[in-house]
Chain A
Amino acid sequence: MELTSPFTLEYAYKRSLGPVLSRFFTALRDGRLEGVRTATGRVLFPPLEYDPDTGEDVGEPVEVGPGGVVTAWTAAPPPGEAWVLVRLDGADTAMLHRFTGDPASLETGLRVTARLAEQRVGFITDIAGFEVEA
């Protein structure tokens, strides 16, 4: 005989973002897309607290986008979701996000633009998704 017992574990953790990411999410809530410049001159978007190449602190914020270019993409068959890696104008790194346009239009190099959510709360979903640039 095998004995089993249900066990539910729930706890609401807290998170503090620190100065770099607090600035990023505050700007995002206000409708601005801000990356950070590293000591070597690269612009990271979304920002990281520390330069992954050198381990050094990152520098001042740099406004990027809202337009950008698709560097890679994937789409599930309809009615599935489509996902894009987008390098925003002015940034050197790409971010993964949802593509809200017609998946049939997706191709590497496609110009897209960020569509911000109407109600923004300081979370990454304040970018509702990316759509084809007009």
Chain B
Amino acid sequence: MSTPVAITGIGQTRYAAKRDDLSMPGLVREAAKRALDDAGVDWSDIDAVVLGKAPDMFEGVVQPELFLAGALGAVGKPMMRVHTAGSVGGSTAVVASHLISSGVHKRILTVAWEKQSESNAMWALSQRFPFAPPTTAGAGGYFAPIIRAYMRRTDAPEHIGWQVAVKDRQNAALNPLAHLQIPDISLEKVQASPMLWDPIRYLETCPSSDGACAMVMSCEDDGHKDAAWVHGTAMRSEPMLFAGRDEVSPQAGKDCARDAYAEAGITPADIDCAELYVPFSWYEPMWLENVGLAESGWRAVDEGRTALGGDLPINMSGGVLSSNPIGASGMIRFAEAALQVRGRAGAHQVDGAKLALGHAYGGGSQFFSMWIVGSERPS
């Protein structure tokens, strides 16, 4: 029988295009300190630190876990780094939770971050490595044809992407930490924004952000009546390229979701709200189908079900479309899911949320991580 895992502290930085007021250690420190303060614990109460970070080329920092040990109070303690491309923030939280559930540690600080202003992800993702197929134009260039395939397969109308772009920015306006603040966002504005990678328009893409997210996890509630509890975790991966691969709805994503629901002992219908990793608007309907939350993702969007007032709110925080410090973006999904079931999401709170899903994906839709968190301690 595994030990229940409580999320007792959550800390996030303000997300912005440039946090040049802080060094990289200062950035992770800001989130970590807020998580400790939220949990009511100190550096000395932490047994181990689990750090997540997307590819080293993004900032040119190799072995960031060594670079950041001092800033995260990890000197003399176990410290490890997790790396699963864009899904890393989620995987990091999953790995951290396993160090508690397995009984190895009692209290963990987990942190994920990216400082995009000191790097250039577009450059890092556009290298033409010898003997390898190029992704040629960053993440958008890679995902655009997959989105087209989804639209063709499901007869989805073009405005679905615009609706997601509007909805997430309206949610971001309720989240003071969100990077993009576009209070006058509208379908017309999205539709009129420049086409970047057909069918993805400028306002249907995520920003480049600096930021960090941190959580304190514990084998007990640390005296917090409003701790969130981990009910299920799962990770899956598959190769980026193989014959017959369904890039629109990868098998690894389906398997990951199935495992997470099974561990939590629930069905997708039990989920009150979810934070899905949506860096391009169309990935909301696509992931809704992939993780089993909706039979037709685009119809769920079109009917307004995924809006904050709908019956299946998605990306209440504004999502990746509003803040994207890549390495942290997955952990922000997981942390925001936890905030919802703690009833601590402020203006973007879903009334009475009891079970929430956090989701992240990375690479060429080849790494997946998910967790299901609840307001009640799992039985």
Q: Are A11 and B23 in contact (CB under 8 A)?
A: no
Q: When each residue 120-139 of chain B gets 1 if its CB lies under 8 Å from chain A and 0 otherwise, what string results?
A: 10011001011100000000
Q: Are B120 and A49 in contact (CB under 8 A)?
A: no
Q: Are A14 and B117 in contact (CB under 8 A)?
A: yes
Which of B59, B75, B119, B124 meets A52, CB within 8 Å? B75
B132 shortest CB reach to chain A, Å: 10
Q: Are A49 and B71 in contact (CB under 8 A)?
A: yes
A50 to B74, CA, bound (A): 11
B29 within 8 Å of A by Cβ? yes
B20 within 8 Å of A by Cβ? yes
Q: When each residue 58-96 of chain A gets 1 if its CB lies under 8 Å from chain B and 0 otherwise, what string results?
A: 000000000000000000000000000000000000000
Contacts of B124 in A (CB 8 A): 11
Contacts of B378 in A (CB 8 A): none
Which of A7, A15, A48 meets B70, CB within 8 Å? A48
Contacts of B20 in A (CB 8 A): 16
In this complex, the interface size class of chain B, counting residues with CB under 8 Å from chain A, is 20 to 34
Contacts of B72 in A (CB 8 A): 55
Chain A minimum-CB-distance residue to B22: A18
B40 within 8 Å of A by Cβ? no
B21 within 8 Å of A by Cβ? yes
B:37-66 near A, CB below 8 Å:
43-44, 57, 59-60
Q: Are A16 and B118 in contact (CB under 8 A)?
A: yes
Contacts of A17 in B (CB 8 A): 23
Given A3-B131, A18-B26, A50-B29, are A13 and B60 also a contact pair (CB < 8 Å)? yes
A102 within 8 Å of B by Cβ? no
Given A5-B131, A11-B123, A15-B118, are A21 and B23 also a contact pair (CB < 8 Å)? yes
Given A14-B117, A15-B23, A52-B70, are A7 and B130 also a contact pair (CB < 8 Å)? yes
B:238-252 near A, CB below 8 Å:
none
B25 within 8 Å of A by Cβ? yes
Given A16-B22, A18-B22, are A11 and B70 also a contact pair (CB < 8 Å)? no
B292 within 8 Å of A by Cβ? no
A56 to B73, CA, bound (A): 8
Which of A5, A11, A49 meets B26, CB within 8 Å? A49
Chain A minimum-CB-distance residue to B32: A55
B235 shortest CB reach to chain A, Å: 30
Q: Are A18 and B21 in contact (CB under 8 A)?
A: yes
A6 to B131, CA, bound (A): 11
A53 to B75, CA, bound (A): 7
Q: Are A18 and B59 in contact (CB under 8 A)?
A: no
A19 to B23, CA, bound (A): 8
Q: Are A11 and B118 in contact (CB under 8 A)?
A: no
Q: Are B71 and A13 in contact (CB under 8 A)?
A: no
B107 within 8 Å of A by Cβ? no
A134 within 8 Å of B by Cβ? no
Given A11-B123, A54-B43, are A16 and B23 also a contact pair (CB < 8 Å)? yes
Chain B minimum-CB-distance residue to A53: B75
B19 within 8 Å of A by Cβ? yes
A16 to B60, CA, bound (A): 13
A22 shortest CB reach to chain B, Å: 9
A47 shortest CB reach to chain B, Å: 12
Given A5-B130, A11-B123, A56-B43, are A50 and B25 also a contact pair (CB < 8 Å)? yes
Contacts of A11 in B (CB 8 A): 57, 60, 119-120, 123-124
A7 to B131, CA, bound (A): 11
Contacts of A14 in B (CB 8 A): 117-119
> Which B residues contact A (CB, under 8 angstroms)?
19-26, 29, 43-44, 57, 59-60, 70-75, 115, 117-120, 123-124, 127, 129-131
For the complex of A and B, the 3 pairs showing the least CB-CB separation, nearest first, are A55-B73, A18-B23, A5-B130
Give 24 A-B contacts (CB < 8 Å), ordered by A residue: A3-B131, A6-B130, A7-B129, A11-B120, A11-B123, A13-B59, A13-B60, A13-B118, A15-B23, A16-B20, A16-B21, A16-B22, A16-B115, A16-B118, A19-B21, A21-B23, A49-B70, A49-B71, A50-B25, A50-B73, A52-B75, A55-B73, A55-B74, A55-B75
> Which A residues contact B (CB, under 8 angstroms)?
3, 5-7, 9, 11, 13-19, 21, 48-50, 52-56
Known A11-B120, A55-B75; 6 more pairs at CB < 8 Å: A3-B131, A7-B129, A11-B119, A14-B119, A16-B22, A54-B43
